[in-house]
C-alpha cells in the first residue's frame, strides 16, 4: 500500500474509533478521502500538517433542547443541532433538516459533504448543517411556528451573517424559514437579512432560490450530455421525491424536452407514461401538503405503487434521485442498469450507497455526484447573501444566468481534475479533488487553527 493510501486508511480508522456508531459519517468520509490519494501524493505536506485529521473533525457542534407545545397544550421535547464543520473559505453555510431520522451522524455526513460542495461553487462559503428530529408532517402552521421559535431561541447565539448562515433542507421550506427569521429578528432586534437564506421574496429572498437545486441539477447533467454529444430531448427520466428538489428538477427536465415518468414520496411512487403533470404535483405537495398517492385519482393513465423503492425498477434512460440519502442501494443500481439506464444525476445528498456508485462506475454509467450536481441550491443561497449585502434584488433571469454559469464551471472543474488525476470519466473523484484542493490550500494558509 502506498504511503498516502495508508495515511488515508489510518484516518478512516481514527474516525471509526472516535464515533463507532456514526455510520453515515464514516461512509461519506471514506467516499471523499479514498478518492483524494493522488492529491496527497502530489502535496505530501498535507500529511505532515495532519490536515485530514483536522478536516474530519467539526470545528464546533452544538446540541440543544427544543421544548414546544402542540395545539392541545401537550408539551414535547425535541433535540436541535448545528454542526459547524469548516470555515476555512467562508462562514459556515448549509441547511437545516427537520425529520424524525435526524441524528448527529447524518448531520455530520451532510456537513462534511457541504464543505466540499460549497468549495466547488467557487463562492466564499464554508460548510455546516443542522436540524432537529422534529417532524413537521401533520403539524398545524401554529405548531410549526412554535417549534421554529423555540429552535431559534437557542440557535440565534451560534449564527450570524458573518458566522453561520443556515438555509432549508428536508422538512424546512419557505414557511419554516419565515418563522425562524422572524424569531431571530425579534431576539437580535436587528434586520440581518443574510443570516438565513431561502427567505420569502418580500423580505430579502432571492428569485430562483426555490428552483435552484432542481434547475442546477439539470444544468449540470446537460453540461455532461453536451460534452458526450447526447441529446436530452425525448429521454425517459425517472425522478424520486416530490419535494423542493424533485419538483424543480421535473420542471427543468420537461422544459429541456425530456419525458419525466415518475415521482414519489416516502409512502410510494407514481408512474405516468404520458409524463408527470407537474401542476398537479405542485398542488398536492406545495399547496395541500398532501400525499403523492392523490395524483393517481385524477390521472387515470397513471399508476400508484406502494413503497418508494420500486421507482428504480422503472425502465428509463436517466435516473435523478431527489428524495434522500441511500435511496439507491446495490439492488436498485443493478435494476437501473439492467433496464437500460445510462445516466444518473444525484439531486439528493448521497442518494447512492458506496457499492451502488461502484456498480455504476463498473458499468460505465455517466454518474453525476451530488456534491457537484446539486450545488445549485447553495450557490444561489450565496447569491442571496450577496444581494442582501448590497440591499438589492436581481431579476430571475440574472440569477438563473449566474446559476447556469456556476453549474458549467463546477462541471468543467470536476472534469478537469478527473482528467488531470488519470480517470477522465470519474466525476466523483474529480469533484472531490476540486473541492478539497481549495479548502486544503485555505486551511494551510491560515495556520494551525
- Positions marked catalytic: 129
265 interacts with ligand NDP by CB under 6 A: yes
H/E run at residue 269: strand 268-271
Which grid cell sits at 260? Answer: 419525466
Q: Does 302 bind ligand NDP (CB under 6 A)?
A: no
Complete edge-to-edge strand list for the sheet that includes strand 262-264: 262-264, 268-271, 303-306
In the block, which residue shows the cell 436540524? 131
Q: How far is the CB of 156 from ligand NDP (least distance, A)?
A: 22
377 binds ligand NDP (CB under 6 A): yes
Of 357, 434, 370, the closest CA to residue 109 belongs to: 370
Among residues 91, 122, 168, 204, the one that binds ligand NDP under rule CB under 6 A:
168
Rounded alpha-carbon distances, angstroms, from residue 185 to 84, 128, 156, 195, 289: 22, 21, 9, 10, 27
Residues 8-67 that bind ligand NDP (CB under 6 A): none
State the Cα–Cα distance between residues 244 and 278, nearest whole angstrom: 12
In this chain, which of 80, 90, 128, 171 binds ligand NDP, going by CB under 6 A? 171
Residue 170 binding ligand NDP, by CB under 6 A = yes
Main-chain dihedrals φ then ψ at residue 236, nearest 5 degrees? -85, 125
Nearest to 109 by CA among 326, 376, 410: 326
Please tell me whether residue 114 binds ligand NDP under the rule CB under 6 A. Answer: no
- Asked if 132 is part of the footprint of ligand NDP (rule: CB under 6 A), the reply reads no
308 binds ligand NDP (CB under 6 A): yes
Q: Pick from 34, 266, 313, 409: which binds ligand NDP (CB under 6 A)?
A: 266
Question: DSSP code of 286?
Answer: I
Minimum CB distance to ligand NDP, residue 1 (Å): 34
Question: Is there binding between residue 204 and ligand NDP (CB under 6 A)?
Answer: no
125 binds ligand NDP (CB under 6 A): no
**Candidate residues 78, 121, 242, 352; the one interacting with ligand NDP per rule CB under 6 A:** 242
Question: How many angstroms separate the Cα of 135 from the Cα of each of 93, 147, 288, 303, 432?
Answer: 23, 10, 17, 28, 32
374 forms part of the interface with ligand NDP (CB under 6 A): yes
Q: Which residues bind ligand NDP (CB under 6 A)?
A: 168-171, 173, 213, 241-246, 265-267, 308, 322-325, 327, 347-349, 374, 377
Amino acid at each position: 500500500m502506498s504511503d498516502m493510501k495508508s495515511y488515508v486508511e489510518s484516518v478512516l480508522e481514527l474516525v471509526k474509533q472516535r464515533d463507532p456508531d456514526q455510520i453515515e459519517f464514516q461512509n461519506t468520509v471514506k467516499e471523499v478521502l479514498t478518492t483524494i490519494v493522488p492529491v496527497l501524493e502530489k502535496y505530501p505536506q498535507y500529511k505532515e500538517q495532519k490536515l485530514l485529521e483536522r478536516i474530519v473533525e467539526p470545528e464546533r457542534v452544538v446540541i440543544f433542547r427544543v421544548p414546544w407545545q402542540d395545539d392541545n397544550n401537550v408539551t414535547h421535547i425535541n433535540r436541535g443541532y448545528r454542526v459547524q464543520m469548516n470555515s476555512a473559505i467562508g462562514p459556515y453555510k448549509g441547511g437545516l433538516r427537520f425529520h424524525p431520522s435526524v441524528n448527529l451522524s447524518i448531520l455530520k455526513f451532510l456537513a462534511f459533504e457541504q464543505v466540499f460542495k460549497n468549495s466547488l461553487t467557487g463562492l466564499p462559503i464554508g460548510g455546516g448543517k443542522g436540524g432537529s428530529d422534529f417532524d413537521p408532517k401533520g403539524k398545524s402552521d401554529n405548531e410549526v411556528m412554535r417549534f421554529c421559535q423555540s429552535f431559534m431561541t437557542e440557535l440565534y447565539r451560534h449564527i450570524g451573517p458573518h458566522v453561520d448562515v443556515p438555509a432549508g433542507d428536508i422538512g424546512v421550506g419557505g414557511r419554516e424559514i419565515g418563522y425562524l427569521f422572524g424569531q431571530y429578528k425579534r431576539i437580535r432586534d436587528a434586520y440581518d437579512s443574510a443570516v438565513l437564506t431561502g427567505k420569502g421574496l418580500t423580505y430579502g429572498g432571492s428569485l430562483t432560490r426555490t428552483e435552484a437545486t432542481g434547475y442546477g441539477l439539470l444544468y449540470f447533467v446537460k453540461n455532461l450530455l453536451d460534452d458526450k454529444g447526447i441529446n436530452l430531448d425525448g429521454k425517459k427520466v425517472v425522478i424520486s421525491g416530490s419535494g423542493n428538489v424533485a419538483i424543480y428538477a421535473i420542471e427543468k427536465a420537461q422544459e429541456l424536452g425530456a419525458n419525466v415518468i415518475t415521482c414519489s414520496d416516502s409512502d410510494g411512487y407514481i408512474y405516468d407514461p404520458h409524463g408527470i403533470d407537474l401542476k398537479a404535483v405542485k398542488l398536492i405537495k406545495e399547496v395541500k401538503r398532501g400525499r403523492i398517492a392523490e395524483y393517481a385519482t385524477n390521472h387515470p393513465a397513471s399508476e400508484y405503487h406502494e413503497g418508494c423503492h420500486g421507482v428504480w425498477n422503472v425502465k428509463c434512460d436517466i435516473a435523478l434521485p431527489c428524495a434522500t440519502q441511500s435511496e439507491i442501494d446495490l439492488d436498485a443500481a443493478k435494476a437501473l442498469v439492467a433496464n437500460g439506464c445510462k445516466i444518473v444525476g444525484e439531486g439528493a445528498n448521497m442518494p447512492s450507497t458506496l457499492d451502488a456508485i461502484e456498480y455504476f462506475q463498473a458499468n460505465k454509467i455517466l454518474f453525476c455526484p451530488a456534491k457537484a450536481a446539486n450545488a445549485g441550491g447553495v450557490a444561489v443561497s450565496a447569491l442571496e447573501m450577496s444581494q442582501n449585502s448590497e440591499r438589492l434584488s436581481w431579476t430571475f433571469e440574472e440569477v438563473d444566468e449566474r446559476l447556469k454559469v456556476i453549474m458549467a464551471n463546477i462541471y468543467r472543474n470536476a472534469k478537469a481534475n478527473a482528467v488531470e488525476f488519470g480517470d477522465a470519466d470519474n466525476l466523483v473523484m474529480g469533484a472531490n479533488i476540486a473541492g478539497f484542493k481549495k479548502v486544503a490550500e485555505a486551511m494551510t494558509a491560515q495556520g494551525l487553527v
